[in-house]
Amino acid sequence: MLQDSALDWRSYVDHLTRAHGSLARLALRVERARPEADAATIERGLRRLRQTPSGEGGKYGRWLLAIFGLPTEVEATIRWMGMYHTRFSDLPVPLCLDLIRAWDRPPVSESKGRAWLELGRASCALRLREFETAVAHARQAVLGSARPDVLAEASLVRAFAAQHRRRYEEVTEALDAAERATRRLPAGSDEAVFRARHLDQSGYNVTHPKSGPPDLSRAAELYEAMPTDPPFSACKRAAGLAYVAWRRGSPAKAARLAGEAAQIAGDAGYVRLRVGALGLLAHITGDAAVARRVEAIAKSLGDAELAARAERVTRTTSR
């Protein structure tokens, strides 16, 4: 349906027309939901809407979105762009932002699906270390949608940003909100990944406390509780346990687990996860060559957050 371009009003009306057999039948279906207008008037309105593909949808556009929502494949695409744990985040940041801009137009921008575009921008802002901007986009997302996956994603974005800004009370509040939203998700791969991300960020929270030593025992419990499938979760689990083993003075075990995390990420095609796992491996082993590779990949992605982590590893291994 979409061919080579993002959705516009013309392609949206054409899609609904095909689904109902004709524009007249589509108008009759709308009339049943909006009896204040007759089918003939609605049909004329839909013809006008189709002739202005890039403008505002007006009354008839709002009606179509309220009755039918976005096409399934469009919803899947923008949702993929809005979740931090998809391979969309493996694309260079400038390309991610270009793709989001291409979709941020009517009818998507007038639908509840726009929340995913806001979350996609939030993820890009995290990768650029623009934490205030990320939180602003996350808050805009939840204003437009109360879906539990939107709430979970937005809460995890806020927790990530708060952790980097050392706002510990905000971290706790955001992680609690993410957990509540995740519990509302149906069982499945996305639920497992959201659960894994919550546990992973909770593990980071207890290993980087506001004061006092890290709680490695609690961190181990959290990482052990992460699902071993899908691959995103399995990689994060292995990397978290590698960090705990390293901090406990077991470098051989830590290196094995970090290598396992890198292999899982590589086999699944997760570039950023693999870079993170290799960076941890270099940190554990002191391998300067691996650290330089990690830094080069991070910079090629235009990913300031990943590059900052890689630079820290490079400094450590070059001592």
Question: Could you give the C-alpha distances from 284 to 36, 106, 247, 261, 274, in angstroms and in order?
Answer: 68, 49, 10, 13, 15
3-class state of residue 305 by DSSP: helix
Residue 257 has pLDDT above 60, yes or no: yes
In the prediction, which pLDDT does 299 show?
Answer: 83
pLDDT reported for residue 5: 58
Q: For residue 1, what pLDDT band results from cuts at 50, 70 and 90? A: very low
Give the percent of the chain with pLDDT over 90: 82
Q: What letter would DSSP give residue 227?
A: -
Tens of pLDDT along 125-175?
A: 999 999 999 999 999 999 988 899 999 999 999 999 999 999 999 999 999
Count of all residues that appear for the chain in the document: 319
What does R_g of the chain's alpha carbons equal in angstroms? 23
CB 303, CB 93: distance < 8 Å: yes
Give residue-wise pLDDT tens across range 41-75.
Answer: 999 999 999 998 778 899 999 999 999 999 999 99
Q: Each residue of 260-304: pLDDT tens digit?
A: 999 999 999 999 999 999 999 998 998 888 888 888 888 888 888
Tell me the pLDDT band of 318, cut-offs 50, 70 and 90: low
Separation CA 262–CA 265 (nearest Å): 5
* Mean pLDDT across the chain: 93
CB atoms inside a 10 Å sphere around CB 118: 25
The answer to whether residue 117 scores a pLDDT higher than 70 is yes
Asked whether residue 226 carries a pLDDT value surpassing 50, the answer given is yes
Average pLDDT over residues 206-224: 95
49 compared with 188, residue with greater pLDDT: 49
The band of 2, judged by pLDDT with boundaries at 50, 70 and 90, is very low
CATH of 72-191, one of 2.60.40, 1.25.40, 3.30.70, 1.20.120: 1.25.40
Confidence of residue 4 (pLDDT cuts 50, 70, 90): very low
Token pair 């949206």 is found at 12
> Which one, of 145, 153, 152, 143, lies nearest residue 120 by Cα?
153
CB neighbourhood size of 208 (10 A) = 13
What does the domain layout of the chain look like in residue ranges? Answer: 9-68, 72-191, 216-319
Per-residue pLDDT band at 310 (split at 50, 70, 90): confident
H or E stretch at 51? helix 39-51
Residue 199: is its pLDDT beyond 90? yes
Average pLDDT over residues 72-101: 95
Beta-strand (E) ranges in the chain? none
Would you say the pTM of this structure is higher than 0.85?
A: yes
